[in-house]
Structure 1
Amino acid sequence: MRFCFYAVILMFAGLLLPGNPLRAAGQLTVLVTDESTQLPVSARLEVFRGEQVGGKLMPIRKTVPAGTGSSGTSPQSVGVVIDRSLELSFPKGTYSFRMTRGPEYRVVRGHFVLERESFDEHKTALPRMIDMAEQGWISGDCCVPSSANSLPLRMAAEDLHLAAVLGHVDALPIAGRDAQDPIENDPSWLREDVFEDRGLVFYGGEQDGESQSSVEQPVASRLARLPRGNDDVRVAIENPFAWPLPVWIASGRVDGIFVLGDWLQLDRKQYTVKDGRSPDGPRTGDASELGRFAERVYWNLLEAGIRIAPLAGSGSGGRATPVGYNRLYVAQQPDGRSATASQQIAARVQSSEQWWQAAWNGQSVATNGPMLQPTLDGKIPGHVFTAHSGEKIRLQPEVRLSVRDPVDYLEVIRNGRVHYSARLDEFAKAGGVIEPIEIEESSWVVIRVVTRYEDHFRAAMSAPWYIDVDGKRRKTKEATAFFQDWLRQYEQRLKKRTSDEISKHVPYIRAARAFWQ
């Protein structure tokens, strides 16, 4: 069992030293580099008044490119994006800041003092915690709201390699960059043939002119018009709480579901579902409740024998969070060698098309924090193991993990139940070894890591591995009942509409009833 765990070290390399705040009179130019390569990189910066991070956020003026270098900012929902360098000009005083570049880098925190009529220039070297792309895992945001701000620059600042943006956006080159200037988040792939309709995201094809806000026709009618067996158009459930979810699943035209989406936004707490089913039972007031419910919905789909890919992204309502905060890492199984015996457990995709194919195949890990590289018996997620009745198979889970948040626990989940759970210190004391899983019946397995972050559910979850015995999927009555109850509640809500409106839903409700029965 290999185990890589990087402790969280908050350091201010090259710019500040603890107890010795930098003094600059009026203006400070910050240059950002990667600590290991010393090459300039983009990053995201938050500035606060006072010595403690978390005070009043200060506005940062957009700076003017200087010389042949690239210097400037781009507006961001949380802080601003620095294009390699930034000139700060604030009133005299003490300020604190927080700088980062996606989840693969450590967070840099510090403070500085600005005084009148003096100028200074200092370099910030961002420490990289792990290079997932080098290990074969390429990151993507599966749903990004359109914006007038530079998406390529925002992606570079979050070390994000792929983005699916809603609606057409002219992806102009990053301002001030020379044609020969290397892209620090290479590869950088954009997809624009994406649109959202009332909780569903369509990848490929064209909008047919139907109003997305219209209640004239249910969104299920759009699903019904899709040709079967056409992989040029894919569909994902962006809102896993949506009331029509059982109807959408019953259509047989859904390829994926967001397990991390716009209900999880950086530095924001969300307790309620705006348009859909809330968690069952008494509410706890725990900020992680919605995230755990989305996970439960997905596990019930697996228990019902529904195999669709888990996705992650900003979501259509994710304008208030950095691009790629919720992200999906995908990879391919290495060819011609044993992943268990090799240092490289995953092979890198070479194109946007390969990335999406791996995503739809469930060769992925969804995360908004921990960097998780899991295998089961040497196979990355998405693999289907086969067995025969009376045969017992033994599968060995393995994990490589890098984190910067305190971790609550690492778990191996089999059929919705915990097979293995440990705190990281317990895991380390055990030598990073997870007990094997012995399986005699059709099953599914996921590996997840949950942090102690308090604002919402911050975790990493692998896509499932499947075990088919005699070619059969696992299906349970309990999971079917879960969605039958959901469908009944949806029908009760529809009864509040006019008879004309109800009539448009009737064919799809009847089809869903038959499917879940």
Structure 2
Amino acid sequence: MGILPVLNRNRGRWRLFLTVWAVLSGYGLTLAQSRLNGHLEVEVTTAGSSRPTPVRVRLTRAGQTVKQLPQQAIGVMYGLWDHADGFGFQPDSSFYINGRFRIALPPGTYQLSLSKGPEFLDQQHAIVVQAGKTQKKTYRLTRWIDMAARGWYSTDGHIHIRRSPREDPLLMSWLQAEDVRVGVLLRMGDFWETYYQQYAFGEQGVYRRDNYLLVSGQEDPRTPELGHALGYGAADKVRYSNEYYHYDKVFDKLHELGGMTGYAHHAETFHGYRGLTLDGLRGKVDVLEILQYCVDETPLRTDHYYHLLDLGFPVTATAGSDFPWCGQDHGHGPPERSARIGNARFYVYTDGPLTNQSWKAGLKAGHTVATSGPMLDFRVNNARPGDRLDLKKGDQLTVSVQAFGHASQVPLDKVELIGHGKVLASVSKTDAGQSARQLTLKLELDTLTRGIWLAARCFAGPKQVAHTTPIYVTVDGGGFHNPETAEQYLQRSESYLREIEQELEKERHNPELRLWHYKKGLKTRIAETREVIAGLRQKWKIAKR
């Protein structure tokens, strides 16, 4: 037969032998490696409960991230432009768990960081892993404040993650790990298409677990020339592709569907102040995102907020992380590096238990505080942020502001009472009776002869700040605008309208810049806004310069 036929006949047997040998050899190596490893088992609860709680975990060794995920890590696809940039790891190499995880690690000393949003105290632990041994650790996280018990529910109003009913339980664990009570997942659009799809809107898009909610919203329209628009709480999404630069048409429909509308990113970037002027002065804007890490290191920006308030237009303060786009190290590297759900949030006061309807009612009433750390309780004659308080001439105002922080995690610096954009009173941690944990400001305002908007503002540790929606005080049924700045802000409004007009005359070949295609419709809207400005000038007897 010769040697070749024999080899051919036994080739299958040799392949089987080699395969088994390779598997057993690999198993031996794996077994040997596992004997060299140690194991870490961690359980995390909260004070007052023995149940494991969702939490954010970061595991490092010698300052380097452990590039291994435990099986219990909760993964959901996320990324810029709806791409699959991330899954189990967060942008800063943290991961989420539902309270327990187990992981095999080479021997050595590791650093374990645990966190659960700003109301809980972060923890850091050094853990020594030994070969062949299992370390079992139980940790209990402690709240330094419970805002939900006070009727205030944390909200991240700006999250971009595609979801279906299958992802809801996973995303809910992400929210609970950051102690975000209401997560608003925004379908994002531009002139060409939409991203981060949501499977349903309104009540059909609400997912609930315990006292936490996932709800749908939209960031659309979005243009470089007029800014990024927001839509909250509507029964459905709204998009008019053929009239994309006519934001007001979207706003009107969202209102018709029971929603609220506004602008993102402080109206700073993407020329959002232009759209805010065009729609805000015509009374179509409900909310403005005043706190976020997208513009620069300073999360709170109020220039355009005070602009509308001083002209007598009530606008509710909101905030949001813009996950996965914006992080706290913006300006020192790619913003996505520390993008984190809930790093900027707003609290909504509800009269009763948290539901989608009670949350919407609180938001529509303006009962909000935007914050990246400090907590605020602001009252004027017992009215809350967003309330309207009509007085008679001679009535006095009793103002109370309390700021809450934590000496190590949210060390308070000062709290201010803001009226018509100016600091009317303030206290700092160095004043008698004040501390880095609590600041209290109480005063009686002199007899008012005209209306005013009043808000509270607080500064704490680095990049930690809070700002309330105003309480709107009127006298004998009048307004709350600021006569001292009215001319300045009306002139500024005119300048923003002229900016739009100048853009309308530029026929651009860049397909991203399509404002000039909507010249006729936008000129009509500019004319309507100028009528509002003229009406205010006449009402307030301001001569046009």
Answer whether TM exceeds 0.5 for this pair. yes
Is the contact made by 2:386 and 2:470 (CA closer than 8 Å) also made in structure 1?
yes
Is the contact made by 1:62 and 1:74 (CA closer than 8 Å) also made in structure 2?
no
Instruction: Give the secondary-structure state (helix, strand or coil) at the position aligned to 2:120.
Output: coil
Amino acid at match of 1:438: D
* Deviation of the 1:31 alpha carbon: 0.5
Matches within 5 A, 1:33-44: 33-44=45-56
1:159 partnered with 2:153: no
Q: Equivalent of 1:465, from 448, 462, 471?
A: 471
The equivalent residue for 2:457 is: 448
1:222 partnered with 2:249: yes
The equivalent residue for 1:187 is: 211
Q: Equivalent of 2:412, from 407, 412, 421?
A: 407
Q: Deviations over 1:85-107 (max 9, x none)?
A: 12233333333232110111011
The separation in 1 between residues aligned to 2:217 and 2:49, in whole angstroms, is: 35
The equivalent residue for 2:134 is: 119
* Deviation of the 1:437 alpha carbon: 2.4
Q: Equivalent of 1:77, from 82, 91, 100?
A: 91
Number of paired residues?
425
Is the contact made by 2:59 and 2:65 (CA closer than 8 Å) also made in structure 1?
yes
Amino acid at match of 1:218: Y
Q: Deviations over 1:275-299 (max 9, x none)?
A: xxxxxxxxxxxx32xx34x322212
Amino acid at match of 2:260: R
Q: Deviations over 1:299-343 (max 9, x none)?
A: 2211010102111222376474332222221224xxxxxxxxxxx
The equivalent residue for 2:291 is: 260
Q: Equivalent of 1:45, from 29, 32, 57?
A: 57
Q: Deviations over 1:18-55 (max 9, x none)?
A: xxxxxx962211110102333321111122332xxxx3
The separation in 2 between residues aligned to 1:497 and 1:223, in whole angstroms, is: 25
Amino acid at match of 2:183: A
The equivalent residue for 2:42 is: 30
Instruction: Give the secondary-structure state (helix, strand or coil) at the position aligned to 1:407.
Output: coil
The separation in 1 between residues aligned to 2:507 and 2:323, in whole angstroms, is: 26
Is the contact made by 1:374 and 1:447 (CA closer than 8 Å) also made in structure 2?
yes
The equivalent residue for 1:274 is: none
* Deviation of the 1:511 alpha carbon: 2.1
The equivalent residue for 2:77 is: none
Is the contact made by 2:385 and 2:469 (CA closer than 8 Å) also made in structure 1?
yes
The separation in 2 between residues aligned to 1:147 and 1:86, in whole angstroms, is: 26
* Deviation of the 1:400 alpha carbon: 4.9
Amino acid at match of 1:466: Y
1:393 partnered with 2:396: yes
Is the contact made by 1:202 and 1:234 (CA closer than 8 Å) also made in structure 2?
yes
Decide which structure has the larger Cα Rg and report it: 2
Q: Deviations over 1:233-261 (max 9, x none)?
A: 32121232214221121342221111123
Alpha carbons of structure 1 residues 493 and 58: separation in structure 2 relative to 1, 3 Å: farther
Q: Equivalent of 1:309, from 313, 316, 321?
A: 316
Amino acid at match of 2:230: V
Instruction: Give the secondary-structure state (helix, strand or coil) at the position aligned to 1:246.
Output: helix
Instruction: Give the secondary-structure state (helix, strand or coil) at the position aligned to 2:307.
Output: helix
The separation in 1 between residues aligned to 2:522 and 2:382, in whole angstroms, is: 46
The separation in 2 between residues aligned to 1:224 and 1:407, in whole angstroms, is: 38
Alpha carbons of structure 1 residues 169 and 88: separation in structure 2 relative to 1, 3 Å: farther
Q: Equivalent of 2:349, from 331, 352, 355?
A: 331
Amino acid at match of 2:285: V
Instruction: Give the secondary-structure state (helix, strand or coil) at the position aligned to 1:247.
Output: helix
Q: Equivalent of 2:278, from 247, 252, 264?
A: 247
Amino acid at match of 2:414: Y
Alpha carbons of structure 1 residues 429 and 164: separation in structure 2 relative to 1, 3 Å: closer
Q: Deviations over 1:42-90 (max 9, x none)?
A: 111122332xxxx33333414159xxxxxxx954334111211122333
Is the contact made by 1:381 and 1:465 (CA closer than 8 Å) also made in structure 2?
yes
The equivalent residue for 2:190 is: none
Q: Deviations over 1:98-150 (max 9, x none)?
A: 21101110111232233332211101111111111111112222232124662
The equivalent residue for 2:305 is: 298
Q: Equivalent of 2:230, from 201, 205, 208?
A: 201
Task: Specify every segment of 5 or more residues in structure 2 that has no aligned partner in the other structure, as ranges.
Answer: 1-35, 74-86, 188-196, 201-207, 223-227, 327-335, 509-515, 535-545
Q: Equivalent of 1:376, from 377, 380, 388?
A: 380
Is the contact made by 1:220 and 1:247 (CA closer than 8 Å) also made in structure 2?
no
Amino acid at match of 1:31: E
Is the contact made by 1:363 and 1:382 (CA closer than 8 Å) also made in structure 2?
yes
Is the contact made by 2:373 and 2:466 (CA closer than 8 Å) also made in structure 1?
yes
Is the contact made by 1:262 and 1:318 (CA closer than 8 Å) also made in structure 2?
no
The separation in 2 between residues aligned to 1:406 and 1:491, in whole angstroms, is: 47
Instruction: Give the secondary-structure state (helix, strand or coil) at the position aligned to 1:134.
Output: helix
Alpha carbons of structure 1 residues 376 and 493: separation in structure 2 relative to 1, 3 Å: same
Matches within 5 A, 1:139-158: 139-147=154-162, 150-158=170-178
* Deviation of the 1:443 alpha carbon: 0.4
Is the contact made by 2:403 and 2:458 (CA closer than 8 Å) also made in structure 1?
no
The separation in 2 between residues aligned to 1:234 and 1:224, in whole angstroms, is: 8
The equivalent residue for 2:240 is: 210
Greater relative contact order (Cα 8 A, min sep 6): structure 1 or 2? 1
Aligned-pair Cα RMSD in Å: 2.9
Alpha carbons of structure 1 residues 56 and 489: separation in structure 2 relative to 1, 3 Å: farther
The separation in 2 between residues aligned to 1:295 and 1:63, in whole angstroms, is: 44
* Deviation of the 1:192 alpha carbon: 2.3
User: Equivalent pairs: percent with the same residue?
Assistant: 21
Is the contact made by 2:231 and 2:261 (CA closer than 8 Å) also made in structure 1?
yes
The separation in 1 between residues aligned to 2:458 and 2:47, in whole angstroms, is: 27
Q: Equivalent of 1:421, from 421, 426, 437?
A: 426
Alpha carbons of structure 1 residues 493 and 407: separation in structure 2 relative to 1, 3 Å: farther
Structure with the higher helix share, 1 or 2 = 2
* Deviation of the 1:210 alpha carbon: 3.5
Q: Deviations over 1:148-180 (max 9, x none)?
A: 662111111011221221245469xxxxxxxxx
* Deviation of the 1:193 alpha carbon: 5.0
Instruction: Give the secondary-structure state (helix, strand or coil) at the position aligned to 2:430.
Output: helix
Matches within 5 A, 1:170-185: none
The separation in 1 between residues aligned to 2:109 and 2:432, in whole angstroms, is: 42
The separation in 2 between residues aligned to 1:490 and 1:41, in whole angstroms, is: 51
Alpha carbons of structure 1 residues 90 and 483: separation in structure 2 relative to 1, 3 Å: farther
* Deviation of the 1:405 alpha carbon: 2.2
Instruction: Give the secondary-structure state (helix, strand or coil) at the position aligned to 1:357.
Output: helix
